[in-house]
Structure 1
């Protein structure tokens, strides 16, 4: 007994945790401890933890080895009088492995549950490269010509810096303006909302988010980028950005003035705030308006300015938010061919359209986060947006049916609208115990209104009619709309731990959307008298509320490699309202009830392999137009009748994902499968007929039906060779849509017409396969050829004439090279071959953009660039839209050939040094607009 006591007095203990440079735990590493009297060995376990007991020596050497990491050998000593020592140990990724497993030049990828984290330090980027340039080098990530980001086959919808929204989450504002050099890590996050972020319990569908982690050494300094350019076709661009980072403070200012389609902000991005979670004028590479290929339709004059600010007052209080303003003046010219199939008779409509719009957008969001202690967390987020828009549209159309000229139609429209909306959201979380007992509450409340004045003038020349002496019809329609919307909801959740690895959650969700709509319509003849048609002249007021209550019971288990949730949810929904149509009351009263499972499974095969399955279900309310209890004749050739008896549709979705990254070889593989099934799907019923006074009419109604489902599978595989000098990537997608709709056609019956309504199922397949090869031996040479084939086919069960077969080959080649340390040449080429479109809109453009740039001043902070955009002057856009009885092919103008000379100045001042301009400059670093050169 005395000997045991003596041992306990003299024995010492060492406990430590092993992790990599990204903080990810390292499991299974060999750990050896040697002193003058000790020799012990163990392995790191769960969480990277290792322990040595009974140590006799005062000083010792610790040796750690693990595959893929540099061996660590370090001396340690116990402090006098202390017998316990805690050691946080970090290993560095090995850079001296065999050639076939070298990872030089690769962004090290770490998988952390719902987060893919790329380290950017080893990417081969030119000086001045933007975040957008870095994203294009990441495995499984794509950035298209318009700045839209896709990661592992899913669209990225929001951008953040250090976990906080940047300009309300605006993707383009972040990736096309922030320099890549200040970013330490790029994270692709499946965000399940604030509740999941606070409690760790995930529910519903995730939102894919881009989070940019600023390098610590770049958190104290400022940077700026300013550019002015002018060119042929009266093209111009003036852009600027400024950013200042201090410890606890971030300030960003962006501004843009141009007529090269360089929109600085995407005002369709949702404002920041507490996400409940249930249920360019950039300064980088670019060759002209609307993206690398001038991707936005029409020609746009843009003026934009924005401010983003964040302040960490202390470790308890943080505030951040943004304000953005944008003015856009767009003119778009289009040619359109419509083929309408009805009862074996085909109607052709050829249209030329001239559309113009002027819009002013304001967006403001603010966030306050407060942590009074380690158990409580509060967040409050007000937001405001305002849009003013005026549009003038002119359409000239010719209708031919059964080889007979029916009519010519001139359609002039003037629309003016004002749409303010504002709201707030917030949450409160209380941790009741260290074991995981928790209570969570959040809410959101938003109000929006729209005032809109419409004027439509229809002038029809009638050729085929049974009405004597009718050769033309003139109609002027005036419509005034006032729509108000109030929506919101709340969530209350309680989590009770059932043990070390499991818990039980009980939650209640309430959501509602309330609408109040007023519509006044009048129609006039050419002499100013009212048209004798009650459908054209009426007053309507209708309001309704759609609400859902959802109770959920969920069991969650998480241990080692397994993480799953099982439960059940009950959700009733109610649709209540009424309407007054010229003094006639109409009641709206519908209800529904859905049971749904809660099912989520994650299996972590290793640190780099993960498999997940997730089911979600949600009810979708009918739209305002779909439920309106009257017929809208503001376009008499396309009247729309709502259905107040519509039920809410319910959508089931299943998502399966697998991802694998080989850290030694640098290969990545992602594959996913999603499927959805809709109950009571809201679909259209379109009726086609000839009106003797106005020609071809397509009337639209709505109804509920079943049988609507779709599925989509995708994959991405990427493998680098020779220290990532070469990278080969494959990605593909296959999608099937089983679309259901109804169509009614005019049928002759002994001289008396009637309408035959039939159910049509459109079986749509979309297949896509792409191959990309990147040659990037150094920062000064980057060449990327690629090819993609897309095939889209639709087979209709009723209207065989409406079957659709479209195929597209797209070839791309882009690259840049330093001719000398200060002279840079770059070019982009894209050739698109379209097959299956109408000959009236068919186009196979080849777009060639090129530039040459000279850098000067100390540190090459100045640059002058001459660029040519769309050398062959073939820029255009071709698209197809298929409905249940109609194919619409259209060709739209885009920004075409021009030449521009521009001057750029940039600076960067950070603690510990500047941006290191010793390396050759970048075509992406002297921007002022990837759009607009």
Structure 2
């Protein structure tokens, strides 16, 4: 605890420990001697010309930089229509104030159509709801990937598994020059594109294509990053190829890794080829299962959502080694293509194949909060999941004429899976919990041994077609959007279980040997028609109609094992069922939007009529329900200045129960936790309020990002759990009221010029109030998560780069039924990384993470450190070749600890992970670019990229 607090104080102290020198001067016209107002004055480092800070002159042509550290700098003065001028200066400790004198700029007559003004921009620019980072202000080590650059951005967090969070929300999409890169998988871009080709990183909440076209916000937003490439990097070849292998001390298996990454950019034409093979948990993509989870086909021995999760291992900078709560062998490859077909058509398409073999070995301790007693379930589980997926995505845009555009986006995934698991569990009475004594039949409630094997195949697909039509009157539009989603799954599983139950009345044994076959079909069609009419220069009115039809079919057949024939032929009617569910909605509404110079607001409401029909074909019964809802919405955006904005949003929505929640058939995959559907479920109704604030002070490099989000749900679908006296439970979804959720995020960032470092402080608060039923009694739970993090990243010079971070997290869970089960957790972590260029083209890199876990239910404090070390020798003229020797988990302490908190239990889970191994690898970084953008890239050069439109917009050339 003390080291972490010391780190936080040290990082905060850095922000004030800057020398208090001042540099001032005046800018005038050389001919008239009149002051030049709003001239750009940049203070550059004399060593590498990087931007230290900048500002504009006042009405008297004067400027003054405060808190300038001791050192040598260059002042650059630029003004449109004048020749730029620079001067070298030195700031010393004995001169607190330095007068740079008067800069006399000479007028320059030029043809603006033939001149490109190149100037290093500010590190962060805020344009309405878009935060734009200048990649040149966040330098990375040579040959680094985009992911390494993202870690340096204020308000952006990157987990060890590559998941990106920006301003407290997960980033769902990463685009390249405004277009998809291998579909919607964020890691394909961040882990496969080099950082040195990126010019700007734009962060914003991307609206739906239809909302972007109409200009009316429909509330459908995804946190998105757009990577804008450098113009001189849009013609050429680049990529990274590597291969390596080495011994693993704890296993006879050889650890290996190979990677292929080749890109050809030619203006708007982009072709990318990726491939990888390794058994060290290194994935350059996001694993996506159409079966609804990582294992997908396997037994569900857990339950509930993860509220708090502990840290895990990490990976060194070479791309080998990874972090996971399992050990994964990966074979993957894919091709991405993008081009403009003439002036009317654009095409993006990708194909990706991956074959994953995942081995999981976990131990967990789960504590249940019951009305009159406490149960503890200790589990040991091992599983193997092999999944092969083929994924295809396409986006085709065709401009029929100057007023009409058609966009089609089809995609599909084909997947096959093999799952094997073995689970052993023991349930103990409250008397045996925490005693440390022997466990026997007097304190055992039950034991279970379950083996589950299954195979499955499935196909999921979607197609989105959008027809957009503009009219002669500006702002008048008509658009029609049709979206279809299908998901077909087939699984065939063998469930073998031996269970023993103990109690005062004596014990009993239960043996299960069954085969279950399940087929699920889902088709959803949604049509949305929108018409916008401008009422004035600032006001627009939108009318929209939405129709949606969702049809789900679930057919489950269970057969018991027949010992006489040795086959699974005895039909089990109690566990078999054929169920069809249909959910249909009609929604009609309007939105009035007003846009002013400083603010934009929109208010509207929809009226929705929904019909839910559940048909149990096995029992020949049908249930029909109708719902009518008024769905209001509102949005306000206020722009205080170019760098400070505030946005408020209110949305309401409904959510229908899934077919698995409705189907009234027991699922005994886990015999100690029987899951049962509920055909009487109602739809959920949720109110959501969000507030976002962005502020960046360009002259001080200080940034503030704040987010507050709150939601309340009526008829929330939660689990009702009942336990019998032998510890077996039955879980069924029900509707309850009283669910609330709130989360807040605050990120503060600033620049420390003496260290050439960026400091970021991040604070998170999450509160969840849940309501569930335990043994027919209402259980109200309150979950709090508070965390504070701090990190500093520095590119001190070309030889040295380092980072230091710390985080402390506190979680608590309070239960109304059993206050004795209230619990709290503390998670603390410290991490650091170092890149240092040694003589003879040697590079030393290392990263270390120290984790500390403590809490009431943890049993004891747990500490471990993950330390990775690598030594690299660079070859060839531009250091494109690298021979690396690295050690993963040098101390051999790596482990995985997760903490799960739900409405009815708390759980601590540890998993087998990768431990110490050595690897020798060779990497070649291909870089071959033309002299500048040519051909089809010229169209993009004419303007700045507009993330809201996906095309260049008129603007000043920088």
Q: TM-score range by the shorter chain?
A: 0.7 to 0.9
Mapped partners of 1:89, 1:224: distance in 2 = 32
Contact 1:474 1:526 in 2 (8 A): no
Q: How far off is 1:842 after superposition?
A: 6.4
Mapped partners of 1:41, 1:463: distance in 2 = 89
> Cα RMSD over matched residues?
3.1
Matched, 1:855 2:855: no
Which of residues 384, 388, 412 is equivalent to 1:360?
A: 388
Mapped partners of 1:737, 1:507: distance in 2 = 34
Contact 1:523 1:536 in 2 (8 A): no
Deviations 1:54-79 (A, max 9, x none): xxxxxxxxx99798994425279xxx
Partner of 2:138: 123
Structure 1 counterpart SS, 2:216:
coil
Q: How far off is 1:568 after superposition?
A: 1.7
Q: How far off is 1:204 after superposition?
A: 1.1
Q: How far off is 1:287 after superposition?
A: 6.2
Show the 5 A alignment for 1:619-768: 619-690=654-725, 695-722=726-753, 725-744=756-775, 757-768=776-787
Structure 1 counterpart SS, 2:893:
coil
Which of residues 564, 567, 580 is equivalent to 1:543?
A: 580
Matched, 1:232 2:262: no
Partner of 1:520: 557
TM-score (norm 1): 0.82
Runs of 5+ unmatched residues, structure 2: 1-25, 40-58, 66-75, 84-110, 249-253, 291-313, 433-442, 934-958
Matched, 1:433 2:472: yes
Q: How far off is 1:111 after superposition?
A: 1.6
Q: How far off is 1:300 after superposition?
A: 0.9
Partner of 1:346: 374
Structure 1 counterpart SS, 2:761:
strand
Matched, 1:912 2:952: no
Show the 5 A alignment for 1:262-341: 262-268=282-288, 285-286=317-318, 288-290=320-322, 294=323, 296-341=324-369
Q: 1:372 to 1:283 in 2, by over 3 A?
A: farther
Q: How far off is 1:879 after superposition?
A: 1.4
Mapped partners of 1:642, 1:269: distance in 2 = 23
Partner of 1:159: 174
TM-score (norm 2): 0.80
Partner of 2:261: 241
Contact 2:552 2:582 in 1 (8 A): yes
Q: 1:817 to 1:546 in 2, by over 3 A?
A: same
Deviations 1:532-576 (A, max 9, x none): 999774431110111222212111110111111012221222211
Contact 1:204 1:616 in 2 (8 A): yes
Bigger drift between 670-679 and 397-406 goes to 397-406
Bigger drift between 316-325 and 532-541 goes to 532-541
Structure 1 counterpart SS, 2:795:
strand
Matched, 1:370 2:432: no
Contact 2:128 2:642 in 1 (8 A): no
Runs of 5+ unmatched residues, structure 1: 1-29, 45-62, 77-84, 96-105, 271-281, 745-756, 915-933
Deviations 1:342-368 (A, max 9, x none): 343222222211111100011001111
- Matched length: 812
Partner of 1:596: 631
Q: 1:528 to 1:70 in 2, by over 3 A?
A: farther
Q: 1:241 to 1:851 in 2, by over 3 A?
A: same
Mapped partners of 1:121, 1:40: distance in 2 = 31
Structure 2 counterpart SS, 1:197:
helix
Partner of 1:17: none
Which of residues 525, 538, 544 is equivalent to 1:488?
A: 525
Structure 2 counterpart SS, 1:132:
helix
Contact 2:836 2:843 in 1 (8 A): yes
Contact 2:160 2:315 in 1 (8 A): no
Bigger drift between 832-841 and 217-226 goes to 832-841
Q: How far off is 1:708 after superposition?
A: 0.5
Partner of 1:405: 444
Contact 2:678 2:732 in 1 (8 A): yes
Q: 1:618 to 1:724 in 2, by over 3 A?
A: farther
Q: How far off is 1:35 after superposition?
A: 11
Structure 1 counterpart SS, 2:863:
coil
Show the 5 A alignment for 1:23-102: 70-72=77-79, 74=81
Contact 2:38 2:61 in 1 (8 A): no
Q: 1:439 to 1:70 in 2, by over 3 A?
A: farther
Partner of 2:15: none
Show the 5 A alignment for 1:608-627: 608-627=643-662
Mapped partners of 1:383, 1:133: distance in 2 = 30
Deviations 1:319-351 (A, max 9, x none): 111000000111111111122343432222222
Partner of 2:621: 586
Structure 2 counterpart SS, 1:874:
coil
Partner of 2:224: 209
Mapped partners of 2:908, 2:139: distance in 1 = 42
